[in-house]
Amino acid sequence: SQEGKHSDQSLVFADLTPEEMVQVVRYLQRSLGVPLVDAYNANPSDNCIYYVDVQIPTKAKVLGFLDRGGRRPPRQALAVVYFGNQPDPNVTEYVVGPLPKPTTHQDITVQKYGGKLPYHRRPVLGKEYEQIEIFLRRETFSAAPTFLNRVFDCNGTNFVSLTSAPRGFQSGDRSTWFALFHNVSGYFLHPVGLEVLVDHSSLNVSQWRVRKVFYNGQYYKDLVQLESEFQQGRVKVNPVTRAPPDGGFSSMQPRAPPRAPFPLQYEPHGPRYSVQNNQVISQAWNFAFGVNVNTGIRLFDIRFKGERIVYEISVQDAISVYGSNCPGGMSTRYMDGSFGIGRFMYPLVRGVDCPYSATYVDTHYLVETETPETHKNSICIFEQNSGSPLRRHYSNLQSLYYGGLTNSALVLRSIATLGNYDYVWDFIFYQNGAIEAKVQATGYMTSSFLYGDGLDYGNRVGDHTLGTVHTHSINYKVDLDVGGVNNTVVAHDMAFESVQAPWSPEHQIQRPRLTKAVLDTEDKAAFRLHSNMPRYIYFAANSENKWGHQRGYRIQIVSFTGEHLPETSLMERAISWGRYKLAVTKRKEEEPTSSSIYNQNDPWTPTVAFADFINNETIVNEDLVAWITTGFLHIPHAEDIPNTVTVGNGVSIFLRPYNYYDIDPSIYSPDGVFFTSE
Amino acid sequence: SQEGKHSDQSLVFADLTPEEMVQVVRYLQRSLGVPLVDAYNANPSDNCIYYVDVQIPTKAKVLGFLDRGGRRPPRQALAVVYFGNQPDPNVTEYVVGPLPKPTTHQDITVQKYGGKLPYHRRPVLGKEYEQIEIFLRRETFSAAPTFLNRVFDCNGTNFVSLTSAPRGFQSGDRSTWFALFHNVSGYFLHPVGLEVLVDHSSLNVSQWRVRKVFYNGQYYKDLVQLESEFQQGRVKVNPVTRAPPDGGFSSMQPRAPPRAPFPLQYEPHGPRYSVQNNQVISQAWNFAFGVNVNTGIRLFDIRFKGERIVYEISVQDAISVYGSNCPGGMSTRYMDGSFGIGRFMYPLVRGVDCPYSATYVDTHYLVETETPETHKNSICIFEQNSGSPLRRHYSNLQSLYYGGLTNSALVLRSIATLGNYDYVWDFIFYQNGAIEAKVQATGYMTSSFLYGDGLDYGNRVGDHTLGTVHTHSINYKVDLDVGGVNNTVVAHDMAFESVQAPWSPEHQIQRPRLTKAVLDTEDKAAFRLHSNMPRYIYFAANSENKWGHQRGYRIQIVSFTGEHLPETSLMERAISWGRYKLAVTKRKEEEPTSSSIYNQNDPWTPTVAFADFINNETIVNEDLVAWITTGFLHIPHAEDIPNTVTVGNGVSIFLRPYNYYDIDPSIYSPDGVFFTSE
Ligand SMILES: [Ca+2]
Ligand SMILES: [Ca+2]
Ligand SMILES: [Ca+2]
Ligand SMILES: [Ca+2]
Ligand SMILES: [Cu+2]
Ligand SMILES: [Cu+2]
């Protein structure tokens, strides 16, 4: 019953099909002229394909096609290749095309990043983690048999390790603290107190070394020393009893049997939206969706009643900065985009993750493999009736009437599991033309082993478990195009003025008055995380509504962010988007993202430093992008066990019409209700 | 299928039944020894009953009964009587009891307010407004027949007036600006440009006078002067064309026919909660509810799994401070509690205001009448499945498993229509022990006639309509009792510390660390509206959870408040709760509310001045109350026509367990889902 018809225009934003991925891999194997190992099995000293994803055409080309009848831009892929088997190991990014039968590839690395990508910046492959795990078991733990046996009743094989990141203190470092946990369900909550600093910077795995060992508050040169001191009775031990396989307190097994089922939603005449390929259409909305391997969900060409409001809205990165008195914990500043938010969008469970009746869409990835992988049902689309009114008024003053409209909204959701955490990414489309981008955090916290002054860094949540304080910060790119590409940022707010009452000048009135400002430069439109910001900030069009006001879309942020990493930190520039709750920049094809997957392992020489985007350019009547940071401070507590709950841990961006229309467009909704006594 | 059984314990909080109201009225008529006129028909110079409501027993008495096996406190009523027909006109508050057959009444005015209540502080009766309307039509407009006829094509009978408030500049004033609107559907959007300042302070209606007239930017002594100047051609007119009866642009009539219906919720095995009298019970929650005539919904004795978390949570007041270049608008600082939030809770419409399948409850009032009035279906209770997970984790790291829980919550809702605005009051009870108090604004804005520098005070939203800037501020009383009556306020937050890496002292780490503080005095626990506040603030119990942490409930506020009225304003103390986003005070039976219905008409000598509650008392291990202000700045824009939408205009208070339990109690929900590949 949706208004519009599907078209294949949205395909210009479409993710690669598995067939396209296969073609790109075959082309690269054929054309790069060097041996390529499957990344699944690749050593650091091999060449391999890290991932292949779609290369979206430039905005100019896309708009030429969509808006000006230009030709459809050719389909292209982005292929990221690790060259470990070279005199000058590096990561190279290629644009490969045209699809489906590629004939050319172009090295865009230097053009995109201003230089080559040193090999040490590369994200750690699953294979590398596996090799570290083997290194720990075979070469490291074997040095401390008595210690492991007496303290943990094991030889290390029932440990699982959790990586920290970044991995050192300066460019080129690749030394990672691995904290060890009992390998049970929800192991993130079962630290055993042992952490090992592994230097895995060498491309020759046999050169990897343990640089330091931490146990229960003390540091040791290596496990040999720990074993020796243990045998001399000089190690203060704090043994952890074996957890049951289901994890005990960390188990997600319900502790109560099912009873009467919870309320369910049904659609009396079926869905009122439609999904075809990567396009969603409903009565008022249509948009294209896709998944970036690294950053996750992104939407393009969002239109309300046919008019484009947003060219692109996409997740850019999610970071967490941890405190702890254990080395892994205190080192941890995860940049989830580097691990890959998109590639970890897993199947959604009907009735829990999304409504039963939702439409489920599969996604396809080619990451660390040579064959595409499908994640079934990893995006869901549904209409959700909130059970409350979008608007209503009950009149019994002069006349008796009632008007109202149910708040039933269209939702696109994915959930990415980044190791321990699960991020629920929602994009919600309301009947009044508002869009909400919402993220909720759930899943497991990570934890540190509790000892000493641990309670300065969090709450105790288990016998030996310290829930460590950390931030969650999420950055979105919002390329609003309000009434066309060229926009200006305008701020409205209120201030009190003291005036004489015109009818009684001996009396003062404290009166709210509008304040209005055009934020005409990038510097003026960059708002520090905890600075004051005008309460209404909107992207204004060149056109006016019926009442003579610049048509606009307002940005409203719901956020509970913690403190941003101090700029004195040598790695801060790598996450400098986190300085700002909102920064508006002139859109540039060369500034497509606020972060980079290469920032995590070399934050000291950031491949992308968002702060550099803000160079005080004039942003009047230009194509503008809003970069928005939202998040929350997380001090884990007992109720984060077994999982963090979404309630109170959700943050949002609203994009709301502000004089964009002449009247609330929901008045044209077919769901409106009105009755009167007459 | 709910866990517990209903009991009649909640009746200690129950609103008056219609029978009880009738008994109180009869008793007063019999016992006061003066003639009482039905307030519906009362002149200012009459005596009448303003309202009768329940008088909840003191907390000591209630807890004696509920917790310590004491006797059930006697039922009592509060009767508010206007004494206009006396040498010293005043308002008197009586406690009348015991119900159902009252035998005594006690004047509590002086004890409650520290003095008598001068008559000029009384809220305006419907009858008084009616008399003003008549005064305007018969005596005022008749002075300007030519003007009205030529400019408005009428004689004033098709105008409706909207009151402003407060009504003057000093104690004793009762001079109100009435702005005139075309009497069509949604008249709030149809100002005609004419406003009249009526002095209705005299108890003798025939002494009422027009003190000033405003038309289209100019002030006149009265309508005689306006008529005269008009006839001399010295009035700049800006005629407003007659709106159609449905209001035209202000009509809520849907502009599109119905189509396929929106999704609906159903309960496969029926409701999982139960409502009996004023008590709601579900699997985990139970509480008592009631409606105060003035302040609206209030909940008592909220228990999760049998343990009391909150003794009382109640709306205290909702204020709006307006800016405008018209006198009515610039005078307006509505204190909705004075008009009566509870008494204007009107019927809820199934399927729009609440789900079809909700449980609807009637409420009863005795206000400005001698016979009880029933508002059908004015409270709804339902379980709402949010369509998203409360928690979930998908594991494919060491083992493949999935655990999750649908976020299905219990909701109690009422909607109060305060003239133009509709406030949606939700109390939401989550399966993890969290409570959310949420308020959303919808309904009509009020507006001013657009002229001159009007755009400094808002946006134009119609031919002659200025949507005027204003604040919405709402105050809640939250009497948390966490693990008992005696609590302490504790603040947790994070701060970065710069430390040498223990394993590599030549390198610095910027590390988040917990900051902890006991807010041991009222002054320390009072946070100005836009000041920094520690990110985690909680009420801590005297007891500890399994992990040795003080059991607590955290207060988290979602708010977009505008500026508070400057304290230089002579009326600011009347709304001084608005200075603080959070203030915790020692609970006192003598400080039951942060506002008073008598503040609106004499804000210069506030009957209750919340700021006085904060007198730096020690608040360690005491019965504490949190007073929380939330709200949003509203700069009306075209999309507020016909109604403000709830999307983005909702604000919340979350009460969340913080180390109160040993583990997330939702693990005991029967709705949990878990499966594994094993
Ligand atoms: Ca720039
Ligand atoms: Ca743009
Ligand atoms: Ca006090
Ligand atoms: Ca208390
Ligand atoms: Cu967290
Ligand atoms: Cu408003």
DSSP characters over B39-51: GGG--TTSEEEEE
User: In chain A, what percentage of residues exceed pLDDT 70?
Assistant: 99
Say which of A351, A535, A646 has its CB closest to residue B391: A646
Q: Cα(B623) to centroid of ligand 4, in Å?
A: 4
Q: Is there a contact between A272 and B254 if contact means CB atoms under 8 Å apart?
A: no
Backbone angles phi, psi at A244, to 5 degrees: -65, 160
Query: If residue B110 lies in a helix (H) or strand (E), which one and from where to where?
Result: helix B109-113
Cα(B392)–Cα(A422) distance, integer angstroms: 7
Q: Is the per-residue pLDDT at B655 higher than 50?
A: yes
Catalytic residue among B15, B336, B479, B602: B336
The per-residue pLDDT for B234 is 96
Residue of A nearest to B3 (CA): A259
Pairs of residues, one from chain A and one from chain B, whose beta carbons lie less than 8 Å apart: 543
Q: What distance in Å separates the CA atoms of residue B99 and residue A105, rounded to the nearest whole number?
A: 88
* pLDDT for res A38: 98
Would you put residue A452 in left (φ > 0), alpha (ψ -120 to 50) or beta?
left
Task: Report the percent of chain B where pLDDT is more than 90.
Answer: 96
Taking CA atoms, what residue in A is nearest to B177? A503
Q: How many residues does chain B have?
A: 678
Catalytic residue chosen out of the listed positions A94, A311, A365, A421: A421
Render A416-443 in DSSP notation, one character per residue.
Answer: EEETTEEEEEEEEE-TTS-EEEEEEEEE
State CA A352 to chain mean position distance: 21
pLDDT of A52-80, one tens digit each? 999 999 999 999 999 999 999 999 999 99
| Neighbour tally for A567: CB within 10 Å | 12
Query: Is B268–A260 a contact, with Cβ atoms under 8 angstroms apart?
Result: yes
Judge contact between B399 and A185, C-beta under 8 A.
yes
| Nearest-ligand number for the alpha carbon of B646 | 6
> Quick one: pLDDT at residue A3?
58
Judged by CB atoms closer than 8 Å, whether chains meet at A664 and B640 is answered as yes
Whether residue A434 has pLDDT greater than 70: yes
Q: How far apart are CA B227 and CA A192, in angstroms?
A: 89
Residue B93 has a pLDDT of: 98
The residue from A336, A422, A479, A602 that is catalytic is A336
- pTM listed for this prediction: 0.98
Above 60 in pLDDT, residue A1? no
Contacts of A530 in chain B (CB under 8 A): 532
Choose among B177, B167, B129, B192: nearest CA to B448: B192
Contact state of B252 with A403 under an 8 Å Cβ cutoff: yes
Q: Within 10 Å of residue A221's Cβ, how many Cβ atoms?
A: 12
Task: Tell which residue, A224, A219, A212, A211, has the closest CA to residue A148.
Answer: A224
B651 sits in which H/E element:
strand B650-658
Q: Is the peptide bond before B239 cis (omega within 30 degrees of 0)?
A: no
More confident residue, A398 or B616: B616
Query: Are the CB atoms for A598 and A121 separated by under 8 Å?
Result: yes
Give the pLDDT confidence score for residue A478 in this predicted structure. Answer: 98
CB A283 within 8 A of CB B259: yes
* Spacing of C-alpha B330 from chain mean position: 22
Q: Using the beta-carbon criterion (under 8 Å), do A390 and B646 form an inter-chain contact?
A: yes
Six-digit token string for A318: 């999610």
User: Considering B82, B421, B430, B660, which one is annotated as catalytic?
Assistant: B421
B1 confidence band (pLDDT: 50, 70, 90)? very low
* Chain A residues touching B672 at Cβ < 8 A: 252-256
pLDDT tens per residue across span B340-382: 999 999 999 999 999 999 999 999 999 999 999 999 999 999 9
| Cα separation, A308 vs A433, whole angstroms | 11
With H, G, I as helix, E, B as strand and everything else as coil, classify residue B566. Answer: coil
Q: Write out chain A residues lying below 8 Å of B321, CB-based.
A: 512
- Cα distance from A658 to chain B (closest Cα, Å)? 6
Q: Identify the CA nearest to B380 among candidates B360, B397, B396.
A: B360
| Contact criterion met (CB below 8 Å) for A534 and A492 | yes
Q: Residue B116 phi/psi, 5° resolution? A: -75, 160
Distances (CA, A) of B382 to A464, B36, B267, B385: 41, 42, 10, 10
Within 8 A of B347 by CB-CB distance, chain A residues are: 394
Cβ of A667 within 8 Å of Cβ of B390? The answer is no
A455 → chain B, closest CA residue: B514
Contacts of A641 in chain B (CB under 8 A): 662-664
- Find the residue in B nearest to A166 (Cα): B509
* pLDDT tens readout for residues B478-536: 999 999 999 999 999 999 999 999 999 999 999 999 999 999 999 999 999 999 999 99
Residue A336 designated active-site: yes
Query: What's residue A26's pLDDT?
Result: 98
The identity of residue B293, as a single letter, is V
- Give chain A positions within 8 Å (CB) of B391: 442-443, 642-646
- Say whether B403 and A504 touch across the interface (CB within 8 A): no
Q: Which chain A residue is nearest to residue B441, measuring alpha carbons? A: A391
In the structure, what pLDDT confidence band is assigned to residue B3 with cuts at 50, 70 and 90?
low
Ligand 5 centroid–CA A445 distance in Å is 6
Among candidates B254, B265, B663 on the partner chain, residue whose Cβ is nearest the Cβ of A674? B254
- Tokens 């367990």: give the residue: B657
| CA–CA dist B35, B41 (Å, integer) | 13
From chain A, the residues in CB contact with B562 under 8 A are: 494, 512, 535
CA of residue A569 to ligand 3 center, whole Å: 44
Q: Are the beta carbons of A186 and A617 closer than 8 angstroms?
A: no
Q: Which of A422, A513, A565 sits opposite B323 (nearest CB)?
A: A513
pLDDT in tens, A209-251: 999 999 999 999 999 999 999 999 999 999 988 889 899 999 9
What rounded mean pLDDT belongs to chain A? 97
Q: If you average pLDDT over residues B180-201, what whole number do you get? A: 96
End-to-end CA distance of chain B: 32
For chain B, what percent of residues have pLDDT higher than 70?
A: 99
Amino acid A399: pLDDT: 82
Rg from Cα positions in chain A: 27
Please give the distance of CA B602 from its chain centroid, rounded to a whole number.
19
Chain A residue with CA closest to B430: the answer is A647
> Which of A265, A504, A558 minimises the CB distance to B265?
A265
Strands B536-544 and B526-528: unpaired
CB atoms within 10 A of CB A362: 12
